[in-house]
Amino acid sequence: MRQYHDLVTQVLSAGTYEPNRTGIDTVAAFSHHYEVDLGEGFPLLTTKKMDGYRWNSLIHELLWYLSGEAHIRTLREETEIWDAWADDDGTLDTAYGRFWRRFPLPDDHGRLPGESWPDDAHRWTETETAPDGTERRVFDQIQYVLDTLRENPRSRRMVVSAWHPGNAAVSTLPPCHYTFVVNVQAGRLNVHLTQRSGDVALGVPFNLAAYSLFAHALATRTDYEVGAFGHTFVDAQRLARGRRPAGARRRGLRPRPRSPHAVVPGARRPAAHRGRRQAARRTRRRRRPAPRLRPGAGHRVRGRGVTMRVVLVAAVAENGVIGVDGEMPWHYPEDLRRFKETTMGHPVVMGRRTYEAIADRLGGPLPDRTNIVLSRREDLDLPEGAVHAERVEAALDASAEALDPDQAAVYVAGGATVYEQFLDRADELRITEIPEAPGGDAHFPAIGDAWTELDRETHGELAFVTYRRA
């Protein structure tokens, strides 16, 4: 989609390096806009992965907005994209849908003389009871827009706001796409979205697709032709930390052949299926063999007297695939919940690509865990909550530093090369068996007959399997 590509080019070419609250600098540009004619087709980008669990997350997030819920207890059954911002009860300190459907109105004492406000009997106003028993009045902005489209479509007042100044001033994450306007011209329904801030590579493709879908839904409900989607940014930015620039993704990649490797005791992936690039990479690095530890003995950190278990945790397909282009080619919420419950409070070791995929999805490191990023890159710049380690021993030492005395275990979360480096040092494997056989470029290493299945739990289509050394 040319309009989006032009936006990315403008930000990268004319933007300036700016510090960021996450600790990762950005290339940022002021005041940009693009427009898409939705009547010519749906703007789902092909230079950004939008399939599978990503599309599922987009759909359920939009439905969550429209539900008006201020918590994520229902949403988290489908996606974890908001988990990092919620408390233990699933409540957020700012929720788009809460303001869309239940924007708070001032009580009698909060109104200034002469101001006009809807009364209790107004059709878009509702009185709801708070958990503490007090009553409050709220305004349904979405219903207001739907009714106005049917009754007064030429109105220029169909504005929906998710921004409450008092809330935004103290919120952990105030709304980025904070207001949109619905406008009808020549029988076509148009939507204009304004964002105070937008990452053009990470979030904007989802904002574009979600609000375009919403425009189609509004047009269908009110019998209009769908028109244009306009998108304005105050601050358009792109993370500047050593990633391939957006828009530079390779096109025309051929499907990768499936591997016959299976992750079961005794199964080994033939060398022919490891790929020439992987073999060449190993040849160039010339790593010395990692010292083998006594099975089950744990890792004892030099000078600290700390013994900790090393646990590999992975989701593995029937053909041994664990990823493609640095990400998992599936989405199973129960597996994500298990990973979170298993690793919470522990240090988690991962490779750079795995970390960047997680940071792209969550907006930063895994919360409430020390993220230890294993990479030979000396210039790796990480935010608070993440630690850089250039070698395995350094990663283990950093894990020991982060250990809770009652939780003497470090979890290794991939990717393939990191699993291979830690397999001989591991005390335990926790594998989620995925009932699929997708193509992929990363595989879990063959575990051979040195491991014995200790436990197996079945959850729907998935199996959670624990291995210990034989």
C-alpha distance from residue 261 to each of 35, 329, 429, 445 (Å) = 47, 17, 17, 9
Number of Cβ within 10 Å of residue 311's Cβ equals 20
Cβ atoms 38, 67 nearer than 8 A: no
Of 165, 222, 218, 171, the C-alpha closest to 192 is 218
| Residues 48, 58: Cα–Cα separation, whole Å | 14
Residues 6+ apart with CB under 8 A from 155: 148
Cis peptide before 415 (omega within 30 of 0): yes
Dist CA 306 CA 426 (whole Å): 16
Tokens, residue 382: 């990480």
Catalytic residue among 81, 160, 176, 382: 176
| 176: annotated active-site residue | yes
CB 166 within 8 A of CB 104: no
Q: Which amino acid is at 397?
A: D
For the chain, the C-alpha Rg in angstroms (whole number) is 25
Q: What amino acid positions are annotated as catalytic residues?
A: 176
